[in-house]
Structure 1
Amino acid sequence: MSSSKVAVVTGSNKGIGYAIVQGLCEKFDGVVYLTARDVNRGQEAVAKLNQLGLKPSFHQLEITDESSITKFRDHLVQNHGGIDILINNAAIAFKRTATEPFSEQAVITNSVNYYATLKVCDILFPILKKNAKVIHVSSSEGHLSKIPSATLRSQFNDPSLTVPKLNQLVEKFIQDAKNDKHKEAGWGTSSYAVSKVAVSALTKIQQRNFDQETPNRNISVNSVHPGYIKTDMTGHTGFGTIEEGARAPLFLALEAENLKGQYIWKDGTVAQWDAEKPPAPF
């Protein structure tokens, strides 16, 4: 079993995740796992980094497939004993021109961005090493102000919120979407925003849970808005490069100290998650 430190980046064969892996390979003193649901695409991404003189490891990981996550966990335990850095980057977003019914978009988006991320955490959190760092790659859309209803915002921001109660909130959104009542119920018109607000709320719950652990492993969990970046997800309409999008996640992974349960902006500063509006520029 290797004694090296280990970093894992989900959904990292392209885009911001790929740039995060590249940055970790350049600066992190340990093993860096590039993961992808498609083995060929993952291996092609590794080969590109090899050409730069970088040597990430690869493992298949489909975050919506519990057996895939479990196989990866077992591999990590057997070969490394656990994880030091976990960056949850994998996510999806429907384009504005998508023709799928909103109810379908609500189900699929939250199944991946929220529920699959939660499943990754449930399976991999037990193998986090002492002083490990967890970073959820969120979005400006993950700011609480993206939920129009003050009542819903207060529920997401409840300091006693638990994962089961958060699940109920997400399920309520999905049901309202299926009944075409999401607007009148105060959810707004973006299933992506709801999924990322849920991840931001999950960040705070997870940090509270880690803080109450006995023995305490001193684990930090933060969410981060990487900026509006030119990627396939944004249809390459963003403003920044993938390298710029990787900066704040890399800061949290490699440099930040004493940041726990926070919502971090693209410049590495702590943003007030429950402010009336998110910081600018996006």
Structure 2
Amino acid sequence: MASIKVAVVTGGNKGVGLAVVNNAGIAFKVADNTPFGTQAEVTMKTNFYGTRDVCKELLPLIKPHGRVVNVSSIVSYNSLGRCSPELQKVFRSESITEEELVKLMEKFVEDAKQDIHQKEGWPNTAYGTSKIGVTVLSKIQARELDATRKGDGIILNACCPGWVRTDMAGPNAPKSPDEGAETPVYLALLPPDATAPHGELVSEKKVVKW
């Protein structure tokens, strides 16, 4: 198990405000015998709540034409497909609120502790479910930015860097760290006049249909 929880602030293109790349990641190894309920709680605390907490502090500080990149994973999309139809509908809703999302993430952890998560329609992955949370949170945050700071030109997305050779992903991953940085950096440096992608999950610089 390895974790990274970083908020990186970098300079953008000329005319673009600062960019925040919010990377909070933890994953238990497949062979780890930690009870699944504990894995769910710890993973959710870092991946979802860590991302949410950093955004809560930094989003109000983002200047016009700033860029925000929440590092999620394509696993969020794959895990969404393993949710019950009812949960899929909720997670794809254009009107889901942050409060409703938080309650769902809390429910997953409690269901996991009781070993009823699959019965309740959840996928059997703590990492994947936490990243569903990050992707949906990013969509909510983008909508809220449009509602509260319309005209500021701030763009916020979730992204998947891919399977990268890190302490968490291991030495057999196909991508180098530099290659894994390509999509996050692309989103962080979108030009000043860009309007899209916004509120999307982006992998290999392409929007993933949620």
Residues 98-141 of structure 1: CA deviation (Å, up to 9, x unaligned): 11100000000000100111011111111111111100111111
- Name the structure 1 match of 2:169: 234
1:29 Cα shift?
6.4
SS in 2 for 1:86: strand
Q: Which moved more, 1:208-217 or 1:113-122?
A: 208-217
Distance change in 2, residues 1:151/1:262 (3 Å): same
Q: Does 1:248 pair with 2:183?
A: yes
1:192 Cα shift?
0.3
CA contact (8 A) 1:227 1:240 kept: yes
Matching of residues 150-229 of structure 1 within 5 Å: 150-214=85-149, 216-229=151-164
Give me the identity figure in percent. 35
Larger Rg: 1
- Name the structure 2 match of 1:47: none
Matching of residues 81-92 of structure 1 within 5 Å: 84-92=18-26
- Name the structure 2 match of 1:100: 34
Q: For structure 1, which runs of at least 5 residues remain unmatched after alignment? A: 1-8, 31-82, 274-282
Q: Which of 60, 64, 74 matches 1:126?
A: 60
Residues 133-184 of structure 1: CA deviation (Å, up to 9, x unaligned): 1001111112163443111111111111010000011011011101100111
CA contact (8 A) 1:264 1:271 kept: yes
**How many pairs were matched up?**
201
SS in 2 for 1:131: coil
1:11 Cα shift?
2.7
With the length of structure 1 as denominator, give the TM-score of the two structures: 0.66
Q: For structure 2, which runs of at least 5 residues remain unmatched after alignment? A: none
Distance change in 2, residues 1:232/1:214 (3 Å): closer
**Matches of 1:176 and 1:166, distance apart in 2:** 15
CA contact (8 A) 2:67 2:189 kept: no
With the length of structure 2 as denominator, give the TM-score of the two structures: 0.88
Q: Does 1:145 pair with 2:80?
A: yes
Distance change in 2, residues 1:255/1:105 (3 Å): same
CA contact (8 A) 2:13 2:190 kept: no
**Matches of 2:52 and 2:203, distance apart in 1:** 22
CA contact (8 A) 1:148 1:187 kept: yes
Q: Which of 6, 11, 21 matches 1:11?
A: 6
Counterpart code for 2:199: G
**Matches of 1:29 and 1:157, distance apart in 2:** 32
